[in-house]
């Protein structure tokens, strides 16, 4: 069974960063590994919605990576919303 990796907006956005170089290189290794089938990539509809609100250049660059890596898109569910609310309430994420 392949390792499953969830790609949030900040991971995908790193392909558009001007630096630091080590962050970009690490992101490239992860995305290459997904594209090569070493790992299975996942994104959520929330991530896709955030990408849709980004500037055109960023959307296009991330779109190239999404087409190349073909991550599985995870839909929102009542369970995922409840879990997210619990994380926010506990202060684990903003």
In the prediction, which pLDDT does 19 show? 76
Residue 5 near residue 40 (C-beta atoms within 8 A): yes
pLDDT per residue over 58-86, tens digit each?
A: 999 999 999 999 999 999 999 988 998 99
Measured in whole angstroms, the distance separating CA 56 from the mean position of its chain's CA atoms is 17
Is pLDDT above 90 for 17? no
pTM of the model: 0.83
- Helix, strand, or coil (residue 91): coil
At 31-48, the pLDDT tens digits run 999 999 999 999 999 999
Q: What is the pLDDT of residue 88?
A: 92
Question: Cβ distance 2 to 39 under 8 Å?
Answer: yes
């Amino acid at each position: 069974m392949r390792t499953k990796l969830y790609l949030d907006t900040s991971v995908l956005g790193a392909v558009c960063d001007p630096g630091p170089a080590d962050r970009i290189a690490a992101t490239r290794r992860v995305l290459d590994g997904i594209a090569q089938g070493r790992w299975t990539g996942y994104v959520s509809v929330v991530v896709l919605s955030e990408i849709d609100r980004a500037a055109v250049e960023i959307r296009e660059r991330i779109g190239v990576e999404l087409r190349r890596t073909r991550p599985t898109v995870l839909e929102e569910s009542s369970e995922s919303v409840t879990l997210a609310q619990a994380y926010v309430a506990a202060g684990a994420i903003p």
